[in-house]
């Protein structure tokens, strides 16, 4: 324990130098702005800014890049709440209740609780990394393909619970999402699937393209066809910051979200995406009145936002302690380290203690800065909603197009947002919800690849999913959740029979 404090002390002495503080601030600011712009994600930004860091000290450079990463997580929720566009898989959930809150004139409260919840989660996650980083690494290693598959099955069940309306429609959307995820080159055989020979489909559909089209563009189309709702967003601004009642409702979801997010963030292969979904599911199940969810429940913003940020933070654990990147952003951080002459691996902690502890300390400082940057910005963002919609929507569309083009420089990506926008609009009109589709899409690839990998390793025996205790436990939880989700509708069906 004494070690921990002296190490943290060492870390803060590095992170608190004038230069590193400035870099952390710069990273957080850039990250926030990038997160707010739809489409321009942390991956594109870090890749673009990598050369600029050449002249910096490695520690400072990595502190700045890390700042961009979690800054973008904060900024991403802003767009999700204000204009219903999830920039990343992790902010899909925030659109559900966050945007509803904005429509009810509670955008400031939603943004405020998201920032405060994220700050709390970030603080806890920093402590977790500092104190338990090394032992927790083992958790990443016991997660093989079978465990991963079962975790993804559990994730799909969350998608069912997410649905507000018909369960059947939700399942249809999940399946459609999984199908969309199979577009592209097959990993095991190299065969192209569902690409119709079109070269730009050979690497599959980009998440940002799908999300922006099916959420953002579809939302614009819907707003344009009925006028009253959008006026509501403009007229009533309401309070800017959450009050005591809001905090009373939110503190438990934030605690639970932090725990779930922190655990899932450690897992390899991007387990962090599940965090917000898991938190939302849990809050909806625990709520006295689940019907409030999807209509602007503050718990549905506070919990998932905390889970999101906790996961973003703890996903540094496999990178810092093992040198293994759990997702694309972390892979980029590996590149940044190697460019700066630090070969990431299990030795980083002992060989480069300055980097290791300096980064951990800077995470907390970065979170504090983000809170300071974001709370005053809430007012600015909320005022943005006052901009007349006929000026607002062309701007949103333009930013979407620029953002999406900047990812792969492909004109086809821009056309695809339009296509998915129309698809999304039709789905809304028929009462299908896009969130389960996106979750199916995100999990589909992981689901399929890990299923096949596990079956190859077990030489085709399905027993592997039950024989491995963690996998079996996850499947059991999934089964229980599914029954809980289906029970009300089955009971309702029976009631209706009795009424007749």
**Site map for other proteins, 311-350, x if CB under 8 A?**
-------x---xxxxx-x--xxxxxx-xx-x-xxxxx---
Regarding 41 and contact with other proteins (CB under 8 A), the answer is no
Regarding 144 and contact with other proteins (CB under 8 A), the answer is yes
The upper half-sphere exposure of residue 39, i.e. CA atoms within 13 Å in the direction of its Cβ, equals 23
Interaction residues for other proteins, span 262-291 (CB under 8 A): 268-269
Interaction residues for other proteins, span 367-426 (CB under 8 A): 408-409
Minimum CB distance to other proteins, residue 28 (Å)? 21
Q: Can you name the residues that pair with 193 across neighbouring β-strands?
A: 184
Calculate the CA 124 to chain-centre distance: 18
Residue 485's contacts (CB-CB under 8 Å, 6 or more residues apart) are: 157, 160, 161, 167
Taking the C-alpha atoms of residue 366 and residue 21, their distance in angstroms, rounded to an integer, is: 9
Provide the 10 A C-beta neighbour count for residue 496. Answer: 9
The nearer residue to other proteins, 204 or 290, going by C-beta atoms, is 204
Regarding 467 and contact with other proteins (CB under 8 A), the answer is no
Minimum CB distance to other proteins, residue 465 (Å)? 14
Minimum CB distance to other proteins, residue 15 (Å)? 23
Taking the C-alpha atoms of residue 138 and residue 331, their distance in angstroms, rounded to an integer, is: 20
**Site map for other proteins, 159-198, x if CB under 8 A?**
--------------------------x-xxxxxx------
Strands 192-193 and 184-185: antiparallel
The nearer residue to other proteins, 145 or 358, going by C-beta atoms, is 145
Provide the 10 A C-beta neighbour count for residue 200. Answer: 15
Which ranges constitute the DSSP H helices of 315-352? Answer: 316-317, 328-339, 348-351
Choose one: 24-32, 33-41, 134-142, 301-309; the region binding other proteins (CB under 8 A).
134-142
DSSP 88: S
Minimum CB distance to other proteins, residue 52 (Å)? 11
The nearer residue to other proteins, 271 or 434, going by C-beta atoms, is 271
Residue 352's contacts (CB-CB under 8 Å, 6 or more residues apart) are: 342
Minimum CB distance to other proteins, residue 50 (Å)? 6
Residue 35's contacts (CB-CB under 8 Å, 6 or more residues apart) are: 41, 42, 71, 72, 73, 74, 75, 76, 77, 78, 79, 87
> Which listed residue (4, 52, 142, 462) binds other proteins by CB under 8 A?
142
The nearer residue to other proteins, 305 or 449, going by C-beta atoms, is 449
Q: Which residues in this chain contact other proteins in the complex, by CB under 8 A?
A: 46-47, 50-51, 54, 140-145, 185, 187-192, 199, 202-203, 268-269, 318, 322-326, 328, 331-336, 338-339, 341, 343-347, 408-409, 449, 453, 456-457, 459
């Amino acid at each position: 324990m004494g070690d921990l404090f002296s190490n943290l002390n060492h870390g803060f002495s590095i992170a608190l130098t004038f230069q590193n503080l400035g870099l952390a601030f710069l990273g957080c600011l850039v990250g926030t702005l990038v997160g707010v712009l739809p489409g321009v994600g942390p991956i594109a930004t870090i890749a673009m800014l990598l050369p600029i860091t050449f002249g910096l000290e490695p520690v400072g450079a990595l502190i700045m890049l890390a700042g961009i990463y979690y800054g973008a997580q904060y900024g991403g929720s802003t767009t999700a709440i204000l204009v219903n566009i999830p920039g990343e898989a992790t902010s899909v959930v925030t659109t559900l209740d966050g945007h509803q809150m904005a429509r009810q004139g509670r955008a400031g409260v939603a943004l405020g609780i998201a920032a405060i919840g994220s700050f709390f989660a970030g603080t806890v996650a920093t402590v977790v990394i500092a104190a338990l980083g090394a032992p927790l690494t083992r958790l990443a290693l016991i997660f093989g393909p079978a465990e991963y598959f079962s975790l993804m099955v559990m994730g799909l069940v969350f998608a069912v619970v997410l649905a507000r309306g018909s369960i059947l429609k939700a399942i249809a959307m999940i399946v459609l999402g999984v199908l969309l995820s199979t577009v592209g080159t097959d990993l095991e055989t190299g065969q192209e699937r569902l690409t119709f020979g079109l070269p730009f489909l050979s690497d599959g559909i980009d998440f940002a393209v799908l999300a922006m089209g099916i959420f953002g563009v579809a939302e614009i189309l819907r707003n344009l066809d009925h006028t009253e709702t959008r006026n509501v967003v403009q007229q009533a601004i309401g309070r800017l910051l959450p009050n005591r009642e809001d905090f009373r409702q939110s503190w438990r979801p934030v605690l639970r979200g932090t725990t779930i997010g922190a655990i899932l963030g450690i897992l390899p292969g991007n387990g962090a995406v599940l965090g917000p979904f898991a938190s939302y599911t849990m809050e909806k199940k625990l709520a006295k009145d689940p019907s409030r969810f999807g209509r602007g429940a503050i718990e549905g913003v506070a919990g998932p936002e905390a889970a999101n940020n906790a996961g973003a933070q703890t996903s540094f654990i496999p990178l810092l302690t093992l040198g293994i990147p759990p997702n694309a952003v972390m892979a980029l951080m590996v590149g940044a380290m190697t460019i700066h002459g630090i070969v990431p691996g299990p030795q980083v902690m002992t060989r480069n203690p300055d980097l290791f502890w300096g980064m951990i300390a800077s995470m907390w400082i970065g979170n504090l800065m983000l809170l300071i940057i974001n709370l005053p910005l809430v007012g600015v963002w909320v005022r943005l909603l006052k901009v007349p919609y006929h000026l607002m929507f062309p701007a949103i569309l333009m930013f979407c197009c620029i953002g999406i083009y900047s990812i792969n420089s492909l004109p086809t990506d821009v056309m695809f947002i339009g296509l998915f926008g129309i698809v999304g609009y039709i789905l809304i009109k028929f009462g299908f919800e896009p969130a389960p589709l996106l979750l199916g899409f995100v999990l589909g690839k992981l689901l399929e690849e890990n299923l096949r990998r596990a079956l190859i390793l077990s030489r085709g025996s399905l027993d592997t999913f039950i024989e491995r205790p963690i996998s079996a436990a996850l499947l059991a939880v999934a089964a229980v959740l599914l029954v809980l989700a289906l029970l009300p509708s089955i009971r309702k069906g029976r009631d209706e029979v009795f009424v007749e």
